[in-house]
Amino acid sequence: MSSKKSTILSTCTLVLPWFTAPLLGKNTFVRFTSVAVFTNVVWSFLSIIASNKRWWKADPFFWKKTKIDLPFVGGMFFITTLWVFKWTFGDFRKYFALNALIDFLLAFPIVKFYDKMGAFKLRKMSNLFFYLIILSLAVLIYFYQCILEKVIQWPGKKAENM
């Protein structure tokens, strides 16, 4: 699956999102890193299952023997999670609507583009089912962050009950 085009695309998927990280701000980065890491852990397990069941194939472009979608996990998903939470956390409807849009774009036109480039291909899974999985993951991680918010007082967050 690996070609020069897929390697370039995979590298961009991993590296380019990180250029936006300084724009997030330190407090946002600290506050939402836990949910981004949790997302990546869940996605990594899902990648292993997907590889074993041949649901999809991703080009990790390095560490060829890994079953984890490294460019997505280490780049695009991590940083996108931070941005989405920065913009929408606290308003579930806004969060869900933005995720529904982003996940739709990922599951349909972006997957098609990555398939053309040889970097990602759905095999035994439809685009719709892929969309439903990633949208379900969005709901799961929102509630994970809600639990963290009850337990941890984040820097930059106004103290409640003062």
Q: What pLDDT digit, counting tens, does each position of 116-133 carry?
A: 988 888 999 999 999 999
81, part of any domain: yes
How far is residue 98's CA from residue 84's CA, in Å, rounded to a whole number? Answer: 8
113, part of any domain: yes
161, part of any domain: no
31, part of any domain: yes
32, part of any domain: yes
- Enter the tokens of residue 60: 């990790």
Q: What is the pLDDT of residues 60-114, one digit of tens each?
A: 656 566 777 788 888 999 999 999 999 999 999 999 999 999 999 999 999 999 8
Domain that holds residue 138: 4-151
Give the strand pairing for 56-58 and 120-122. antiparallel
Q: What does pLDDT average to over the chain?
A: 88
156, part of any domain: no
- The number of folded domains in the chain is 1
